[in-house]
Every structure is written in structure tokens, then in C-alpha cells.
Amino acid sequence: MNVDLSQFYQVFFDESAEHLAEMEQIFLAIDPANPDDEELNAVFRAAHSIKGGAGTFGFPDMAEVTHTLETLLDKVRHHELALTREMVDIFLLAGDAITMLLAGHRDGSAVDRQVIDEVCGKLGNLSDSSLAQTGQTSLTGLTEKKTEEPSLATWKIVFTPPPDLYTRMVRMEPIFEELASLGDFSITAGIESHHEFEKYDPTRCLAIWEMTLTTNRPREEILDIFMFVADEEEMRIEKLDQPTDVAALSGTEDNSVLMGRRQYDKDETASGAFGRRTTENAEASSIRVGVSKVDQLINQMGELVITQAMLAQSARCIDPVLFEDLHRGLSLLERNTRDLQESVMSIRMMPINFIFSRFPRLVRDLADKLGKQVELKLVGETTELDKGLIEKLADPLTHLVRNSLDHGIELPDERIAAGKSPGGVITLKASQQGGRVVVEVADDGAGLNREKILAKAVQNGLAVTDTMSDEEVWQLIFAAGFSTAEQVTDVSGRGVGMDVVMRNVNAMGGRVSVFSNADKGSRVVISLPLTLAILDGLSVRVGKETFIVPLNSIIESLQPRIEDLNEICRNTTTVQVRGEYIPLMRLGDIFSISGAAERPEEAVVMLVDAEGEHIALLVDELLGQHQVVIKSLETNYRKVDGSAGATILGDGRVALILDTVDMVRMWRSQ
């Protein structure tokens, strides 16, 4: 039966990408002078898994590169070859080459054969040098080497596979061939006679393989061959004292066992049946689901929230006494909908380490290229963010980290002259604040140069003055085509990068702030909404219009007294709240709504937080708290200043979701 293996390609691609990421992470953190054995074993297992999968699914180019890498890693982990920083560099390049080949098979992207050949050549040179070291040892002590050569031993190998071996498309032929290459090899397979042949399932593996191998290789090397197809508990490898002892080969476990194998479990569904692994921790298991399916589930969840809101709106005009059961059912539906929404949204949340893990390699390579000493610190890697936002955040963070490396961190000599340590520090930090995620890129470099930025702005024709605040000057670096680099390199100088940061972050409903101190460093802060799908909001009325204020932006609501109101000038009023004078912002004036309340003491004041600044927002009435589904205005209409999107209310009307920070900007400009 011919089976189309292409249906399993995506699983192999995903697993290989994970193995490559794990290898890179270990190589970046490893100490070549004192490598940890567990780390060496981990990278070897990752390479072995990729090689085995590439061979199984018919990708010989990947298998070839990975096989050479695996051989070298095997010598390193057995301390036959000393690890050096130069070797780590080559291993990282090999990982890049395998990643390129993987992308070629997965996405059909171009593969630079010259790069692949260069990497293979470097790996080959390492292999030759290791052989030369071995040969030199053998020439200086040929007699001693002969006596130390491991003697032949015969091993009994019993492999009890899980029943899903065939459905996982595992091919045993390459395993047997690799074992046969180690020495004198023989194999037999047995199966318990099935009493109910009509119920026999050919997709379930019922066989157990028993093998004998006479070789001078150690037990660990034999076990490694099965690494890709079996767990250690599914293997039994015993050393035989007398290789020709037939009794030892056949086993004496049970007279009822066919060909010396253990009796099969009668219950095929039992946890230990057929050598199946037992899963003690069910939470540790996982399945792979396509992103499109998750997006579809979230969209359907959003429609369910809207439908529930419509039912709740309609039920308000129904007598709760006469229709008590209906109201009770709707209340239960609301609670279940909220629980379901939280569960569905958690599926799409991912730790931000998904993109943070990319930067140790970038910093390492770029610092070497620039001749700088840089340490990267990661803080808050477990902070979760919507997967859609994480994917869009990768590019802005890359530009910010490269900018800190090139413009922020000084050369070692310059840092020493400034009284600093020769090595700089770049910190990537993530944290959750209310309903937003804040990501910071900070460095302890020279900081931003105000005079240099202003001079470049004048040269580019930007409207600037010497009286501008530092905050306004720092925002100039986000202008298109702006760069203070003195010469164009492959790292910077083309004026492309920081404007991309601002544009991409704004598209995600986020904001960018810059802070800098001369000779102490700079800090760029990106504030993003936690998710782009559903949020908790408070609906408010202004005139005949309804708006949604995100619940995480609201501090408190109150009705002010006349004596608490102070008019500073014609368009500026403050409200006193517990000794603090807070500027009053009329929502009706911002959006030019007729019929809005004019007298604050007859309306409602909402204290909202606009990234650390408190503003008093004047509205006519508070309507109620509920979940709202965020709909993009830009996709269906255009960008509306002061809003973070729109939603559909229970009565079918559209309401704007307010962006408090953008509203403050609009109010000040007016």
C-alpha cells in the first residue's frame, strides 16, 4: 500500500523548527570552556531527530547536512572533541543552513546552494581535524590504542513499539540498516496469534522486534539509533555473556510467549498495552491546530457574544416576574458565554518569549560585526499576548534592538573612557498592565543626542524649534527617512527602520514612547492592547450617541459638585477630586455631538487613565458594563481619530470604542 507522506510534512516542519530553535538557544547560552553534558545531549538529540525525520520523509539534503552536524556533536558530547567558540559559530551556521533547506521544502523559498556548500565544507573541515587528532594519537601510541580498543560484545535488543507506530508513518528499514552497519546483525519479529481475526486492525502495530547485534559500539550508541522512533521505556538492551547461547537469545520469560516475547496485554486499550507510554500528567499533552481554525473559532465566539447581547437587550422589555425562567436562562447564558469567551481567547494567547528568543542570536552576530561587547537581558518572557500581535511585533522589536546596538551601545574603548564597563547591556522587558501589554527596549549606551537630532531634522526640512521639549524631539526619530548615522552600512544609515516601528505599532492599536538620558542610555516603550478580539467595556451616552470606554482605562466615575469645578480659561476646566485638580475633557466637544450635557454638575465624570495621566471625561450617562467584539474601522471604513475600533451593540447599532490616549491628543490639539 502506497501512503502519501506529504500529509504529514507539516508536522515534521513544525517539529524541526522547534528543534532548530532549541539548538540555537543552547548554542548561544553554552560555555565552550565548560559545556554542560545535558545541553550537549539535548542538541545531539535535536539534530538526530531532524536527521531521522528528513530521511523518513525524503529530504536527503537536510539529512546530509544534519548527519555531519550530528556526527560532530556526538564526538563533542563524548568528549572526543573539545568544544570551542569557533565550533559553536560553525554549528550556528549549520543551523541556519538547515533552516534555509527547511524553508525551501516547506514554503518553496529559494535555497542558496553556495551557502549550503560553504557550511558543509566548514563542517567537513571540523570532521577532518577531529580525525587528524585521532590519527596523531594512534601514531604516537599505536600499541596502547590497540589494547584500549573496545572488545566485541553481543547485545540482545527487544523493541516493543506503541500501537500507533504505523499511523505515525515510522519506517523501520532505516533503523535496521543503521544497526547492521555497526556489526553482525540479525532480527526476528513475532506477533501473538489473534483469536478474533475479523476484528484485526492492520493500522495498529502488534509486532515486537527482537534483534541481536555483535559490535564494539557502546550501549548508548545503539540506543541513540532508536531515538526518533522510540522512548527508552519501549527498549530493552541487554549484554549477552555468550553470544552463541541460543537460550539467552530466545529468552525464558514465559512459555506462552511466542518467540520468547512477553505476553501481549489482553486489553488493547489498557494504558500499558503493547508497551504504550502512560501519561500521568494529562495537562502536559497537546495537539497542533492550524491558526486559521483558531481564528475561525474566535470569530464565531465574537458573533456569539453579539447574539447574547442582543438577547439580553430584547429581554429588558419583558416582565421578569411573568418570564422568570427566561430571565434566569439568559443570565446563565451570559455567564457561560463569558466563561467560553475566556477559554477561547486563552487558546490564542502566547508567551512573548516566542519572539524574544530570536534576539540572542541577532545581538551576538551584530555585536561581533560592530566590534562591540553586548549582553542581552530578557525580562518577563512569560507575559502572554495575542498571537496576531506577537507576529506583528517581531519586526518593530528587531528594528529597535538593531538601533540600540548600532546607535546606543558604544565601542568598548569609548565606554571605558566614559567610566563605564566595556560591555553594554540591552534589556528586553515585557509586562502586563491592566488590559495592555508593555514592551520595553532599553540600553545603557550614550543616549539620544538632542542637538544632532534637531540638526538632522532641519536638514530634512522638518518644522522644529529649539523650544521643543525632549519628548517632542525624541519623536522626530520616527519620521520617514530620518537617520543620524554618518555613513550608510548594512546595519543603518538608510533612514528606514524607526518609521516602520511607529507605523506598525500604530496599526496594532499601540503607542510608542521614548525616554533618554545623556550618557546613561535610552528606553523605548511600546504599549499594546492585550488582544484585538474582545474586551470588557462600559457603554456611555453622549447626546443620542453611544460609546464604549475600555474598562481597564476607567479609574472611577462620579457626579461633580459645583464647588469642585474650576474654570481656568474659556476652554479649560478642572475638577477637584480628593485634592487633585484634573483637567475636564468633554466627549461631546471632541466628536462635535449636538445635545450633549453642558453643565458638568448635571452629567457624569469618568476618571480615566491615559498612560499614567489622569483625565476627567464628561459624559451624559453610564449605560452598563458588557463584553464587546472589536471590529476594525479601517478595514470597513477608515481610521477615526480617538477610537480603537467599533463594535455592534445589542440593538444592532454601531458604537465607537474609545482610545483615551488618542482622545487626549485630539483634545489638546483642539
Amino acid 141: pLDDT:
37
- Residue 286 domain-assigned? no
Q: What is the pLDDT of residues 6-30, one digit of tens each?
A: 777 887 888 888 889 889 989 988 8
Flag whether 280 is in a domain.
no
Residue reference for cell 572526543: 80
Number of H helices, E strands in the chain: 21, 22
Cβ distance 510 to 526 under 8 Å? yes
CA–CA separation, 36 vs 547, rounded Å? Answer: 58
418 with 557, same domain: the answer is no
What's the confidence (pLDDT) of residue 149?
52
Q: Residue 580 belongs to what H/E stretch?
A: strand 580-586
Which CATH number is 223's domain given?
3.30.70
594/629 Cα distance (integer angstroms): 27
Whether 419 and 487 map to the same domain: the answer is yes
Instruction: Look at the chain and report how many structural domains it folds into.
Output: 5
Domain, as residue range, for 479: 352-529
Domain co-membership, 357 together with 223: no
Percent of the chain scored above 90 by pLDDT? 13
Looking at the structure, do residues 163 and 230 belong to the same domain, yes or no? yes
Residue 585, classed as helix, strand or coil, is strand
Does 67 lie in the same domain as 159?
Answer: no
C-alpha cell, 301: 465566539
What CATH code is carried by the domain that includes residue 369?
3.30.565.10
**Of 649 and 228, more confident:** 649
Averaged pLDDT of the chain: 79
Which of 235, 236, 233 minimizes the C-alpha distance to 280? 233
- Which candidate, 323, 341, 345, 347, places its Cα nearest to that of 626? 341
Co-location of 219 and 299 in the same domain = no
Domain-located, residue 553:
yes
Is the confidence at residue 248, as pLDDT, over 50? no
Least confident span in 105-114, 374-383, 474-483: 474-483
Regarding whether 504 and 399 lie in a shared domain, the answer is: yes
State the CATH number of the domain containing residue 652: 2.40.50.180
Q: Is residue 278 part of a domain?
A: no
What sign has the CA pseudo-torsion 519, 520, 521, 524? negative
pLDDT tens-digit series, residues 66-121: 888 888 888 888 888 888 888 999 999 999 999 999 999 888 888 898 989 898 88
The amino acid that residue 618 corresponds to is L
Contact 237, 219 (CB under 8 A): yes
Give the largest Cα separation in the chain, rounded: 105
Write out pLDDT tens, residues 341-359.
878 878 878 888 888 988 8
- The residue ranking higher by pLDDT, 192 or 510, is 510
d(Cα 271, Cα 265) in Å, to the nearest integer?
10
Pair 345, 366 in one domain? no
Domain end among 529, 549, 580: 529
What pLDDT shows up at residue 542? 92
Tell me if 397 sits within 8 A of 438, measured CB to CB.
no
Are both 204 and 304 inside the same structural domain? no
Q: Does residue 281 sit within a domain?
A: no
Q: What is the pTM of this model?
A: 0.60
Q: Indicate whether 274 belongs to any domain.
A: no
Per-residue confidence band for 442, with pLDDT thresholds at 50, 70 and 90: very high
Least confident of 207-221, 237-251, 548-562: 237-251
User: Is residue 26 one of the residues assigned to a domain?
Assistant: yes
Residue 18 lies in a domain: yes
Task: Output the nine-digit C-alpha cell for 284.
Answer: 502536559
* Residue 28 and residue 119 share a domain: yes
| Residue 396 and residue 311 share a domain | no
Element (H, E) at 222: helix 219-225
pLDDT at 639 over 50: yes
- Residue 179: predicted pLDDT: 86
Q: Domain boundary residue among 111, 128, 145?
A: 145
Total length of the chain:
670
Q: What is the CA radius of gyration of the chain?
A: 33
Residue 275 pLDDT grade (very low, low, confident, very high; cuts 50, 70, 90): very low
| pLDDT > 60? residue 265 | no
